[in-house]
A and B are shown apart, each in its own frame.
Chain A
């Protein structure tokens, strides 16, 4: 650090302006499309409003009381905890592990990382079809494999296994996302600390634990945040494979919302459910950021 400490202070006002103009277009675009829906959700949650009605009627807290009194609502949240919790932990662990692996591999890194990325690009809809294809009792490859090992289970038709299966699908498809983000972070880690560590005689494990991981903590949080938002919302795979069943075993809150919004077309109730999901995402976000902040020191 050879720059004098006094200069940044003098520059501050000017600095702000360039950055401000660089940020402005994004803010405008975001605000335009996201503000109205947000307020609409709040408005709709207090109205008795379904798509086939001519005008919505004021309903006070009825949507809220009905939703909060619905046991399926709470059960769906419970299942979402399992789905999201299990999924995120698995993805994170696997994703970081593979990222580190890719980082250390001497050759063919490009090839391997591109190949590993492929599940990401199989659109969730096709992923759902693919896994249905793999797990169907009549012709599924994985079903056949399980059978050969003596496990005669109907993965998608058995409440005890269906949840595990959908978590697996999510992990399979989205782990590469975590890998990409973390790997990119690893690749921006400057050489100096690593070289210094080499000089000090540190081995690979120590380098990972004390230098690499801490420096990509920020990226890990970004990956976690993005995935945690999406894992609540993405239900394409569940729709194609189990439709929330069997016996509601895979009905997460995202699926529940789809049902209320699209099948029942109850805009008011959907808004209420949507707001709870938004709240949950915000809380999770705050939590992850707090974790990030505590590392920043």
Chain B
């Protein structure tokens, strides 16, 4: 034991310690471009820092002398970040905050612009980006040991918030505290459905986290293909096949089949397959299927508020209902005619196939618009249209995949307050506006009201739209967020197990190992056993 301790001491003395400063937050400054750049390869640095600067035209000056706009970069039309009279933004100077988050566009964007925050507050921030599985594990270990290793945690609603909400600080206490700055624009400025699912768990009393990103599944399609062969299809099938809000899943199937046939016959050369899916034995499969399930009027469990505030016990599984079985049968049928690689692909693989020009239509996460419009990554730049997913007999579902960030309850009091400042900054409208170029979509209404954004979204030919590729999918996403269109998966503590059951059994169905009806029954059986219902 002595030897172990001795060697450990020797090693810690001569190695780089925890939170090694040095690189990462020092290289270059973010305050270069004043425009939103169009490069959306989702952040290019290894640790997630972007290759481009952000919109932080004023990051050099830490705000005005009168204390307003402490971070600089405020834009006309957005709520300001304000603090109570006499508040000293630098009062927590010297504290170091550790953030653990998934390597997603906003994380990269924030990491790239972190000097803005650090200069204004004197707080050092280490943003650690890792894969979601690892975030979940590290957060779990940290909470379990009641450590305060990480102060700010990426609160995935389904894997972290649903189980561990009680370890997060109730942000209402901080927001209502007269001595601290409050959320610019207030909680109302967040898109409400996103706030519900990302911020609360089980009830609306305690606010655990603030919405941070919001990828949503919508339909991507090849505008050029649909333009070119519109008349031919009209002749043969008798209707306008352009994907839009009126398209039904049955029509989607018919269109996809037709494209397959024509491509095989050599009539259509621009694509090989009508539809492609993310049907790997992976979370992506559950996402893809859920859209169809919702469209047929089915759902996973019977409990109330399953998808927004969430609940501890979801009740019995609803997958044995006729709607669910119908949905499964349709989904199975659809996948039979989909691009054969579908069972190999998660959302990345599918996006790559679509970007390589192989597929005409694909239900995909809207954030991939950035990749599709980047000529270095995609052959279909300029040819992609977006719309909400087709409707089914009983409605429509567009899967939502957003997340929020929260504060570790076990941190020290001043660390918690410092973390609150970070949260304010990270989710502030002006910050969200600043990091648009990393392929990020804001969670704030006020950002969407800006003329620049409006122009980019509504006029695809405009300069603004060209600068901001995500604009093209955003209209569809905004439409998808409407209550009648969005689909939220169950937010329950045992979701990881249920999710695994769902996509494993679906994978077996797609491999021809079991019938759709049996698949649904099997999932229901295992879910019920797990939830004890």
Residues of chain A whose beta carbon lies under 8 Å from any beta carbon of chain B: 25, 28-29, 32-33, 51-52, 135-139, 152, 154-159, 242-249, 259, 262-265
Determine which residue in A25, A32, A242, A245 has the highest number of CB atoms from chain B within 10 A of its CB, and name it. A245
The smallest beta-carbon distance between A23 and chain B, in angstroms, is 13
Question: 13 A–B contact pairs at CB < 8 A?
Answer: A52-B140, A52-B143, A52-B144, A137-B341, A137-B353, A152-B340, A154-B341, A243-B280, A243-B346, A248-B507, A248-B508, A263-B133, A264-B497
Cα of A135 to Cα of B344 in the assembled complex, Å: 9
State A28–B7 Cα separation when bound (angstroms): 12
B500 sits at the interface (CB 8 A): yes
A32-B1, A52-B164 known; A246 vs B510 contact (CB < 8 Å): yes
Given known contacts A138-B349, A247-B281, A262 and B133 CB-to-CB distance under 8 angstroms: yes
Shortest CB-to-CB span from A151 to chain B, Å, is: 13
Minimum distance in angstroms from A95 CB to a CB of chain B: 30
B431 on the A face (CB < 8 A): no
Q: Are A29 and B133 in contact (CB under 8 A)?
A: no
Interface residue B21 (Cβ < 8 Å from any Cβ of A): no
Q: Is the CB of B140 within 8 A of A136?
A: no
Chain A nearest Cβ from B197, distance in angstroms? 19
Main secondary structure of the interface of A (DSSP, over half): loop
Convert B1-25 into 0s and 1s, putting 1 for each residue whose CB lies closer than 8 angstroms to a CB of A.
1011001000000000000000000
Inter-chain contacts of B507 with A (CB < 8 A): 245-248
Interface size on B, residues (CB 8 A): 39
Report the Cα distance A279→B353, complex, angstroms. Answer: 44
Please name 4 further chain A to chain B contacts, defined as beta carbons within 8 Å, in addition to the given A52-B143, A246-B343, sorted by A numbering.
A28-B1, A32-B1, A159-B511, A247-B513
Complex: chain A residue closest to B344, CB-CB: A157
The interface residues of chain B lying within 8 Å CB-to-CB of A159 are 511, 513
A138 and B341 within 8 A (CB): yes
**Interface assignment of B282: CB less than 8 Å from any CB of chain A:** yes
Shortest 5 CB-CB contacts between residues of A and residues of B: A245-B281, A157-B344, A137-B341, A157-B343, A247-B511
Q: Does B170 contact A (CB under 8 A)?
A: no
- Whether B356 and A51, one on each chain, are in contact in the complex, defined by CB atoms closer than 8 angstroms, is no
Given contacts A138-B349, A159-B511, A263-B133, contact A243 B341 (CB under 8 A): no
Find A136's partner among B143, B340, B344, B511 (CB 8 Å cutoff). Answer: B344
Interfacial chain B residues near A158, Cβ < 8 Å: 343, 511
Chain A residues contacting B346 (CB-CB under 8 Å) are 243
Q: How far is the CA of A47 from the CA of B176 in the complex (A)?
A: 42
Which residue of A is nearest B4, CB measured? A32
Whether the Cβ atoms of A137 and B1 lie closer than 8 Å is no
A154 touches B137 (CB 8 A): no
CB distance from B103 to the nearest CB of A (A): 14
Nearest Cβ distance between residue B121 and chain A, in whole angstroms? 32
Contacts of B282 in A (CB 8 A): 243, 245
Contact with A along B302-338 (1 / 0, CB 8 A): 0000000000000000000000000000000000000
Partner of B344 from the list A33, A51, A156, A263 (CB cut-off 8 Å) is: A156
> Which residues on the B side are within 8 Å of A245 (C-beta)?
280-282, 343, 504, 507
For window 116-138 of B, CB contacts with A under 8 Å fall at: 133, 136-137
Flag if A244 contacts B140 (CB, 8 Å). no
- B493 part of interface (Cβ distance < 8 Å): yes
Pair B340/A154 contact, Cβ less than 8 Å: yes
Q: Considering the complex, which residues of chain B in the window 486-527 have a beta carbon less than 8 Å from any beta carbon of chain A?
A: 493, 496-497, 500, 504, 507-508, 510-511, 513
Alpha-carbon separation in the docked complex, A29 to B8 (Å): 11
* Residue in chain B with minimal CB distance to A160: B511
Write the nearest CB–CB distance from A160 to chain B, whole angstroms: 9
- A157 touching B342, Cβ below 8 Å: yes
The distance in angstroms between the C-alpha atoms of A157 and B352, with both chains bound, is: 16
Instruction: List B contacts of A29 (CB < 8 A).
Output: 3-4, 7
Cα(A29)–Cα(B345), bound, Å: 44
Judge whether B163 is part of the interface by a CB distance below 8 angstroms: yes
Asked if B358 is at the interface of the complex by the 8 Å CB criterion, the answer is yes
Q: Which residues of B contact A242 (CB under 8 A)?
A: 280-281
- Whether, in the assembled complex, B141 has its beta carbon less than 8 Å from a beta carbon of chain A, the answer is yes
In the complex, what residue of chain B is closest to A24 when comparing beta carbons?
B3
Please give me the residue from chain A that is nearest to B350 by CB atom: A138
Closest B residue by C-beta to A263: B496
**Are B281 and A243 in touch, CB under 8 angstroms?**
yes
A139 partner residues in chain B, CB cutoff 8 A: 352, 356
Cα A136 to Cα B349 with chains together (Å): 8
